[in-house]
Amino acid sequence: SALALVAAADSLGLRARAVAAPAERLADRSQPWIAVWEDSHFVVVQSLGPRRVDVLDPARGRRRMSREEFDAGYQGIALLFEAVPGAVVEDVPRSRVGAAWRPLRAEARRAGGIFLALVAVTVVAQLLTLAGPFLIGRAVDELGGSAAQLPTTLALGVAGVVVATWLVGAARGIASVRLQQRLDERLAPGFFGHLLSLPHHELERRGTGDLMGRMESLTLARLALTGQVVGALLDAGLVVIACVALFTGSTSFGLVVLAAIALQVVPLVVLAGPLHESTSRAAMCEGSVHGFTAESLQGIATVKSIGAEDAARQRFALLAADRRAAETRRDRLAARVETVLTTVRCATPLAILLLGFPAVASGELAVGALVTAVGLATAAVLPASGFVSGARAVQAAHSHLVRLADIWALAPEVDAGEVELEGAVELRGVGLRYPGSAAWALEDVSLRIAPGEHVAVVGRSGSGKSTLVKVLVGLLAPSAGEVRYDGRPASSLSLPGLRRAMGVVLQEVWLFAGTIRDNITVERRLTDDDVRRAAALAGIADDIEALPLGYDTRLADGGAGISGGQRQRIALARALAHRPRVVVLDEATSHLDAVSEARVADSLVRMGVTRISVAHRLSTVRHADRIVVVEQGRVVQVGSYDELAEVPGVFRDLVSAQLSEPAPELV
């Protein structure tokens, strides 16, 4: 929202003001500004010219559009910014691309020995390759000599070329495979591990589709680099050697080849910006398609149950059309570059022939020398084309890696080891604002929970209950105040270790593809007795043991094929298997019947753990030691069920809404 943008600007030491103005009045501004675009969408306007407009669109990335297109979407409202006098405005780096390339550079250094060996083999192979034109030129000069010697010379030349070609191909294959193996072994797992270690709010604000698109960009970058770049690097040596040989024979021939190489580089330089922009746009569109596909298939039951198949098809068709348009623009630009490369490859040998023909006619140059020069020119120009293609691959990889730069630059949570908990939890004046929002999602929440106490959190939908739970388990960091465990501030503890010490079941229960045992243990060192005990506590043991394969029954991704209640109870077993001292449950029994829910509650009482539970169904929290009522992010009531039901307030309203009979009147 505009209010959130103003608040974000204020936090950066900038003063924002909204103006209603036509685009013409803003054309002379030297500083970027934000335009309200197409139904309350915001874009950053970098430059506004009479014909072209450059904008940064959060939904589509960097864009260049015609002035007519901009005027059609601009709503006539702009946000302008200026520095607050005396405020310290932090310099934000223009690019974090270096952060994206850093892991690749590290892997290249680790593979340095492999590449040095390959370079040595390649140089030898390329020298043999260049021997071909010399042998053929020598054979042509000897056409007037002994015919008996000619077949032997040709055979040696052909054999040398074949062997050299095989060696170069083998070297390229080894380099590509080794590099791909190295990147596969370290880069993708490293990026995924980095993703998992990031603070939850960083992942939450990007969304599943966006993150999947970035993983896809990592794959495409790796394929671009390993597919062409290694070959291009090896080709560079062949180009240099061929040019040296040409200059040794004739300066004119050498200059022609250098000019041809320069002509191949020109379109790459001229179109570098549009190629980068179009490749980035295509990558973003591809990510959107992948993300929407994954989200639709993940929620396919919902899509079909509400009859939204046509809407999903239309949405996919629009995203696919955007992708197709972006890929078409990218491919057209690439085709322009390839057209120049093809023309230069064909024209260079012809230019050498035309330049050398008068010298041959005058006797200044032997025919064999001209044939050798043509062969060397071809040997130089073809690899140069490969080198330009490799540069294009680097450009494409760069465009993909730009999408990863901000992820690599984020600081991960520090896992400093395990945390031991006794069960005391305290919130001191906790407040939370989501990034870019001026409103408080939680405000001045203070609560002290004793070891072994059962505290229930209730409230209307959207009141902040689940947000409070995420703060309690360290998924969200408070903007104000602090959370303490056994008297220790959460900020002083290892948050991953803290969460491992707790038993947590969130609203969005997710089971992994694998066996029921795998879903309960989650790679923890638990015995079969631990697994069975946890299943019994969660009231799911009988259901599991009735299955033909018992705990070895395989579950589909997300737990598809079993009921919602069974999914919740398996998640409960997972949370209880390691005997936590603090258990946090966010609507964790909403799919259970009353009998199953009572069994789970009895199990938790017997465990003697500190229990913090969120529920809409008030019967779930009737026997809690205390009930905390949350309204608009604030704690408005605290007490037992009976105490709160007898006084006017939010809790009494909730009781009245859920029970068939109204709550008792005050006496």
The DSSP-derived string for 424-446 is -EEEEEEEE--TT--S-SEEEEE
Burial class of residue 421 (count of CB atoms within 10 Å of its CB; 0-12, 13-18, 19+): buried
CB atoms within 10 A of CB 628: 26
The yes-or-no verdict on residue 459 having pLDDT over 50 is yes
* pLDDT in the model for residue 154: 67
Average pLDDT over residues 24-52: 80
β-pairing, 514-515 vs 554-555, is: antiparallel
Q: Kindly tell me if the per-residue pLDDT of 391 is higher than 60.
A: yes
Distances (CA, A) of 12 to 5, 8, 81, 103, 152: 11, 7, 11, 30, 78
Q: Give the helix ranges, DSSP H, for 59-111.
A: 67-73, 97-110
Q: Which domains does the chain have, with CATH numbers?
A: 2-83 (3.90.70.10), 97-409 (1.20.1560.10), 503-579 (3.40.50.300)
Token reading at 367: 């025919």
- Eight-state DSSP code of residue 352: H
Banded model confidence at residue 126, pLDDT cuts 50, 70, 90? low
**Residue 477 vs residue 28, higher pLDDT:** 477
- Measured CA to CA, the distance from residue 284 to residue 42 in angstroms comes to 18
Q: Give the model's confidence band at 11: pLDDT under 50 very low, under 70 low, under 90 confident, else very high.
A: low
Write phi, then psi, for 80 (nearest 5 degrees): -110, 150
Pairing of strands 33-37, 74-83: antiparallel
Question: How many other C-beta atoms lie within 10 A of the C-beta of residue 382?
Answer: 17
Cα of 623 vs its chain's centroid, Å: 45
Residues 6+ apart with CB under 8 A from 439: 433
Q: Give the C-alpha separation, 50 to 473, whole Å.
A: 54
Neighbours of 87 (CB within 10 A): 12
CA 371 – CA 569 distance, rounded (Å): 80
Which pLDDT does position 472 carry in this prediction? 92
* Residue 557's pLDDT band (cuts 50, 70, 90): confident
Where helices occur in 447-494 by DSSP H, the ranges are: 465-472
pLDDT at 226: 65
The answer on pLDDT for 666 being more than 50 is no
Please report where in the chains the tokens 């939450």 appear, as a residue: 204
Identify whether the C-beta of residue 288 lies closer than 8 Å to the C-beta of residue 57: no
Is residue 113 within 8 Å of 174, Cβ to Cβ?
no
Average pLDDT over residues 622-647: 91
Is 50 exceeded by the pLDDT of residue 458?
yes
Local confidence band at 1 (pLDDT 50, 70, 90 cut-offs): low
The answer to whether the beta carbons of residues 214 and 404 sit under 8 Å apart is yes
* pLDDT for residue 432: 92
Q: What is the total residue count of the chain?
A: 667
Distance of CA 88 to the CA centre of its chain: 32
Give the model confidence (pLDDT) of 412-442 as tens digits: 888 888 889 999 999 999 999 887 666 789 9
* Separation between Cα atoms, residue 477 and residue 433, nearest integer Å: 10
Residue 388 pLDDT > 80, yes or no?
Answer: no
Q: Does residue 95 surpass a pLDDT of 50?
A: no
Dihedral sign of CA atoms 241, 245, 246, 248 in order: positive
Alpha-carbon separation of residue 170 from 130, 175, 500, 537 (angstroms)? 17, 9, 49, 61
Give residue-wise pLDDT tens across range 608-621: 899 999 987 777 78
Which of 30-34, 50-54, 449-453, 563-567: highest mean pLDDT? Answer: 449-453
Q: Is 398 helix (H, G, I), strand (E, B) or coil?
A: helix
Q: What is the average pLDDT across 300-318?
A: 81
Mean pLDDT of 468-473: 91
Structure tokens at 19: 């103006």
* Angle between the N-to-C axes of helices 564-576 and 594-607, in degrees from 0 to 180, rounded to the nearest 10: 0
312-342 core/surface letters (b: 16 or more CB in 10 A; e: else):
beeeeeebeebbeebbebbeebbeebbebbe
Strands (E), 568-663: 582-586, 610-614, 626-631, 634-639
95 phi/psi in degrees, rounded to 5: -150, 145
Which residues, 6 or more positions from 138, have their beta carbon under 8 angstroms from its beta carbon?
153, 368, 372
Average pLDDT over residues 333-360: 85
Residues 6+ away with beta carbon under 8 Å from 312? 296, 303
Q: Sorting pLDDT into bands at 50, 70 and 90, what band is 79?
A: confident
Structure tokens that stand for 134 in this block: 């010399």
Helix (H, G, I), strand (E, B) or coil at 447: strand
What pLDDT, on a 0 to 100 scale, did the predictor assign at position 174? 75
b/e burial code for range 122-155 (CB count within 10 A of at least 16 → b): beebbebbbbbbbbbbbbbeeeeeeeeeeeeeee
**Residues 6 or more apart whose Cβ sits within 8 Å of residue 425:** 447, 448, 449, 472, 483, 484, 485, 582, 610, 612
128 confidence band (pLDDT: 50, 70, 90): low
Average pLDDT score, the chain: 81
Range picked from 3-7, 169-173, 431-435, 456-460 for highest mean pLDDT: 456-460
DSSP string, 479-508: SEEEEEETTEEGGGS-HHHHHHHSEEE-SS
pLDDT in tens, 491-501: 889 889 999 99
Closest CA to 118 of 161, 173, 183, 165: 173
Per-residue pLDDT band at 157 (split at 50, 70, 90): low
Strands (E), 288-398: none
Helix pair angle (367-409, 251-270), 10° resolution: 30
Q: Pseudo-torsion of CA 319, 324, 325, 329, nearest 10°?
A: 140
pLDDT level of residue 280 (50, 70, 90 thresholds): confident
SS3 for 310? helix
> For 506-551, how does the pLDDT look when each residue is reduced to its tens digit (9 = 90+)?
888 888 888 999 999 987 888 999 999 999 999 999 999 999 999 9
Helical pair 251-270 and 309-361, crossing angle rounded to 10 deg: 160
- For the segment 457-465, the average pLDDT, to the nearest whole number, is 89
Mean pLDDT of 78-84: 80
- Work out the average pLDDT over 188-209: 81
